Structure 1
Amino acid sequence: MKTNPGRFFEDYRLGEIIAHAVPRTVKMGERTLYHALYPARHALHSSDEFAKTCGLPFSPLDDLIAFHVVFGKTVPDISLNAVANLGYAEGRWLGQVWPGDTLRSESTVIGLKENSSGTSGVVYVRTRGLNQHDEVVLDYVRWVMVRKRGHGPAPEAVVPALASVVAPDALPIPRGLDFTRYDFALAGEPHRWGDYAVGEKIDHVDGVTLEEAEHMLATRLWQNTAKVHFDATQRADGRRLIYGGHIISLARALSFNGLANAQLMVALNGGAHANPAFAGDTVRAWSEVLDRAETPAPGVGALRLRLVATKGAPFALRGEDGKYLPDVLLDLDYWALVPL
């Protein structure tokens, strides 16, 4: 067989390292399309001149462009036969991605656990995104529910122990980053690190209605080949499932209104795609400040933020049973760098 039907749960081996095809050179076209698909407008990723005042040589590509490209490479080997992408942990953006960089991905299988139904299992992988200099620019763990090919015996269950949060002293700070000359007027809001209190919740106000063509264009842009995003026959209801990363980028872009100075995502503590999203849904976002930390970089602080994408009202997350409410699409926990 010359075509690739995708891997099933039985095809994974603990400790296996998977080198993913195909390397991707990213340029300004990726940013242009990214900013056309999402209302992204953080100043550091929009202006070379603004980036220079912050100690960088010019404006790097958006953090989530790196995430999408690295993630997309893994789909044919990890989640082509996935039932669901379940979560993330221990993610760090270890280096900036610049126009002209070439990214590739590799994953190590760090855990396997068959589900009680015997028809699927959970695969845990640590994925690294590397540039053309073999420097790691992104590292994260995710776990995916994958269909089984048959009902044969499963490997012994191994579930990795994962940190619930990236420690503040382990946050990667871009070389040269300096917010002491930060221009709040050009950034769009006056709010500094000290203006945010732990426990504070922010309604980002705006909403975006999802379009079929836009989410499929975005998913193709990241070369994500998962069938459920394109082929309406893959689901009994005949609906194309929207790629979870599309919701992440949309919510992050919407968070500009209230978090315009949260310029860089540097760590991904955890995340869950709580419910599926489909064309026609209107997505809104809200955030909660979970923690604050100082950094060694001049004028730079860090906020730990919960970012929630929802089709419903702000600040509603779980029901009395502890489960996510049906309107909640995304619950993401991340660290961002902000000016002091």
Structure 2
Amino acid sequence: MSQSRTLTVNQSEILARADEVESPIADPPSNVVVGACALDAATTAARQIMLSAENMRTYLAAGATERQRLAQFMRNVANAYDDVDQESATALNYGGQGCLLPAMLTANANPGPAALSDTEVASPPKPPIFLELKDARTMLDKPDQAASLKAFATAWNKYNLTLLESLGRFREFDDWEGDAAATIQAAFVQQRDWLRLMAQLSVTLAKQAFDLAQTHHWAISSHPTMEEIVTLQLEYANATAKRNTRLTEQCMKKYAAYQQKSEEVLAGYFNKAIVEPVNPPKPPPAPTGSDPQPHGGSGDIPWGGMPMTPPTPLTPMTPFTGAPGGNDMQAAADAARRAAKLAPDVG
């Protein structure tokens, strides 16, 4: 038969930490990303980034809900300690004849997070088709020239720091130990690890957007410019008008080289603009009032930090003189055992 443990509980600390856990973290970025140009590869990649960001926001909102549930669980634990102390006082003052119904943790009334799923995968881009040199350059020059991608990358990279700065709320308790405290501390570790991973995925999103912007700038700088194309067309027109065969052939060779370069750039854009979906992990669920008693024992005796100080716990003593029933200490022990049921599994 396992023995109960006496501990000190700072109810004020539990309640203050619950408020801190529940305090909002800044909302994730809501930046909209559009294709850097009119190429299908660019617009498809931008859509995939948007789908990943949208799912990240959904998961972060679910995480906020679980933190609220965790905070409420902490408040329920703090209140339960107070209830047990009052039950124990009743038992001692009334010879074990007072009300000693077990004070169970209130079940969290908040519903669980909305259904979470993997990030939607955007439809794959169409393979590059043959485009005339001038048409290809025109599509490359369409808005927004990666402006939204760069803003998106900056915002999500910054949000990584926001998430990391929030981890301090999950530090260890200063003045609370025991099974219930260990359960909440274990939940803190899970929350901290989850937020760290979400911060890493924020950087992943930012890098995807940055890399896609770099791909676009590479294509823009590698492809023949519109000025070069127009100039070559004018030279060809003049050469044919003057029936200058040599100059006409030179223009045709140059145009063929431009066309080949254009096709290489478009193929490179297609291959470099492949963006994988970012799949965030589900947030850890908050403990519940129905979690099982750890170690199969009677758990902690949440006396410390409460208004009354009990006699030497759970040792046989002569009953108080004149107390009805003569079972005061047995009643106190019963109350302590009932209190132990409040400590959920450390898991």
Structure with higher Rg: it is: 2
Q: Which bracket does the TM-score occupy, shorter chain normalised?
A: under 0.3
User: Of Structure 1 and Structure 2, which has the larger fraction of its residues in strand?
Assistant: 1
- TM-score if structure 1 supplies the norm length? 0.22
User: Of Structure 1 and Structure 2, which has the larger fraction of its residues in helix?
Assistant: 2
- TM-score if structure 2 supplies the norm length? 0.22
Structure number with the bigger relative contact order (C-alpha 8 A, sep ≥ 6) is 2
